[in-house]
Amino acid sequence: MAFKPANNIQDLQYFGEFGGVNPSISDSSTYTFLSAKTMFDTFEGNADGCYLYSRHSSPSNLYLGEALAAMEGTETANVSASGMGAITPVILQLCGSDDHIVSSRTIYGGTYAFLKNFVPRFNIETSFVDITNLKMVEAAITQNTKVLYCESVSNPLLEVADIKGLSEIAKKHHLKLVVDNTFSPLSISPAILGADVVIHSLTKFINGSSDTVGGVVCGTQEFINDLRNINCGASMLLGSTMDSLRASSVLKNLRTLHIRMQQHSKNGLYLAKRFETDGLKTVYPGLKSHPSHNLFKSMMNEKYGYGGMLTIDVGTLEKANELMELMQNKNLGYLAVSLGFYKTLFSAPGSSTSSEIPEDEQHAMGLSDGLIRFSIGLDDDIERTYLIMKQCMITVGVLEPTHLITD
Ligand SMILES: *Cc1c(COP(=O)(O)O)cnc(C)c1O
């Protein structure tokens, strides 16, 4: 039977303590034991199903983790207080002094800063490569390489990683392939394509209401146990634990993710096609002009589409700022970082979310000043949105007035 990530969430069955249709929230940091022996066994990791202390695990966090593991098709998962709170322990669990990482050069700014500026303190070095060039990826691997790191769809350039190809390279060189799937939940299932570890910032599409930060690591039981190990687990010891109340609210939002992703994708594809036809430099994986359109297509769970992220290049930062301010004034969305909200969000990555990346490196990877990143919202009437956006583009001089459609 085909892998159906949304069904896998739906098929979970958790009851609340009193038969509630939502699982009970465990509002406790610590747990009683009926016998001292069980407490000892739990510390030793030998008492399955017993909770010890909520930094280690809690029922609410396990419910959310199991739902996300079902979505990604992994054995289990561990939720965390933020996406960075998922990424950093994974790197530190897999790498120690003198180890090496091969990473895509187009990744989330915070991840880039962590790999570039922070882990060298522990003698962990990273080579940043063009992830779409498998030959270059393999050539960057050294005897000390432990991790191959990428995003399925990269931030902000929307490059697409060939996860099957990368997984073959990882297996050949005994590396762990770690994939951040934040931009393409449901659409792409990295673990099914061969990734060892799948990470999400739950802050974005998965929670979808821009009211919290959160993260998750999906992987094998063995790896998640390692992360949670009370003696040497990076998640346990660094302590970026999600709160139980939050875990329960993210779980509720997760249930509508498949409906939201279809709408984000539908609106994204509509706008991308219209923008491209208007002559704007548009990047969207669903466009045939996208260099990895066919690759995305070959990996995707078709129903959920090409996602809600697109970029246009309007030439200069000044024009980008002018356009974004006008679009906000016209209530087409918000000038804000982040993604996955019901409203469209737009920002200029070069001066915001990717500002951790030095300017010369931004240019080398094709991140230009006039780039605007859109997270397309759930707009019910996307044609109306498009027509108002187009009027804004004409007003600021990004499009010629001749393009104006009067109706
Ligand atoms: C936002 C984001 C992160 C970081 O997540 P936080 O929840 O903000 O810590 C990591 N990766 C990608 C691709 C992101 O968009």
Kindly report, residue by residue over 105-123, the tens digit of the pLDDT: 999 999 999 999 999 999 9
**Does 2 have pLDDT greater than 70?**
no
One-letter amino acid for residue 93 of the chain: Q
Residue nearest to atom 12 of ligand 1 (CA): 108
Task: Yes or no: say if 287 and 335 are a contact pair by the CB < 8 Å rule.
Answer: no
d(CA 265, CA 284): 10
User: Residue 362: pLDDT band by 50, 70, 90 thresholds?
Assistant: confident
Task: Yes or no: say if 79 and 13 are a contact pair by the CB < 8 Å rule.
Answer: no
Task: Yes or no: say if 225 and 343 are a contact pair by the CB < 8 Å rule.
Answer: no
Contacts of 36 by beta carbon, 8 Å cutoff, 6+ apart: none
Work out the average pLDDT over 192-208.
98
User: If you search the block for the tokens 């747990």, which residue do you land on?
Assistant: 31
**Does 407 have pLDDT greater than 60?**
no
pLDDT number for residue 404: 53
DSSP state of 76: E
**Does 241 have pLDDT greater than 80?**
yes
Residue nearest to atom 6 of ligand 1 (CA): 83
Residue 375: phi and psi, rounded to 5, are -105, 105
User: Residue 142: pLDDT band by 50, 70, 90 thresholds?
Assistant: very high
- DSSP characters for 91-159? HHHH--TT-EEEEESS--HHHHHIIIIIGGGGT-EEEEE-TT-HHHHHHT--TTEEEEEEESB-TTT--
Handedness of CA 182, 186, 187, 190 (dihedral sign): positive
User: Residue 358: pLDDT band by 50, 70, 90 thresholds?
Assistant: confident
Tell me the CA–centroid distance for residue 339 and ligand 1, in Å.
Answer: 9
Across the chain, mean pLDDT equals 94
Tell me the CA–centroid distance for residue 211 and ligand 1, in Å.
Answer: 14
Tell me the CA–centroid distance for residue 393 and ligand 1, in Å.
Answer: 29
Tell me the CA–centroid distance for residue 214 and ligand 1, in Å.
Answer: 9
pLDDT number for residue 101: 98
Work out the average pLDDT over 201-225.
98
Residue nearest to atom 1 of ligand 1 (CA): 201
β-bridge pairing 125-129 and 100-104:
parallel
Distance of CA 123 to the CA centre of its chain: 27
Work out the average pLDDT over 207-232.
97
This prediction's pTM: 0.95
Question: What does each C-alpha distance from 211 to 14, 223, 333, 339 come to in angstroms?
Answer: 24, 30, 16, 12
Task: Yes or no: say if 183 and 155 are a contact pair by the CB < 8 Å rule.
Answer: yes
User: Residue 54: pLDDT band by 50, 70, 90 thresholds?
Assistant: very high
Six-digit token string for 28:
């406790």
Task: Yes or no: say if 212 and 64 are a contact pair by the CB < 8 Å rule.
Answer: no
CA nearest to 256, candidates 71, 30, 95: 71
| Burial bucket for residue 143 (CB in 10 Å: 0-12, 13-18, 19+) | exposed
**Does 342 have pLDDT greater than 80?**
yes
**Does 384 have pLDDT greater than 80?**
yes
Same fold, 5-254 and 258-403: no
Six-digit token string for 59:
């029922």
pLDDT number for residue 368: 86
User: Residue 91: pLDDT band by 50, 70, 90 thresholds?
Assistant: very high
Tell me the CA–centroid distance for residue 108 and ligand 1, in Å.
Answer: 7
Mutate to test the pocket of ligand 1, among 154, 183, 188, 203 (most ligand atoms within 8 A of CB): 203
CATH 3.40.640.10 matches 5-254:
yes
Domain spans of the chain, in order of start: 5-254, 258-403
CATH superfamily of 258-403: Aspartate Aminotransferase, domain 1 (3.90.1150.10)
Query: Among 171-185, 233-247, 391-405, which is the least confidently predicted range?
Result: 391-405
User: Residue 98: pLDDT band by 50, 70, 90 thresholds?
Assistant: very high
**Does 87 have pLDDT greater than 70?**
yes
**Does 325 have pLDDT greater than 90?**
yes
Q: Quickly count: other Cβ atoms within 10 Å of residue 386's Cβ.
A: 20
Mutate to test the pocket of ligand 1, among 79, 80, 84, 216 (most ligand atoms within 8 A of CB): 84
pLDDT number for residue 155: 86
In angstroms and rounded to an integer, the radius of gyration of the C-alpha atoms of the chain is: 22
Which residues are near ligand 1 (CB < 6 Å)?
82-84, 108, 110-111, 151, 155, 180, 182-183, 201, 203-204, 213, 215
Bigger pLDDT: 155 or 228?
228
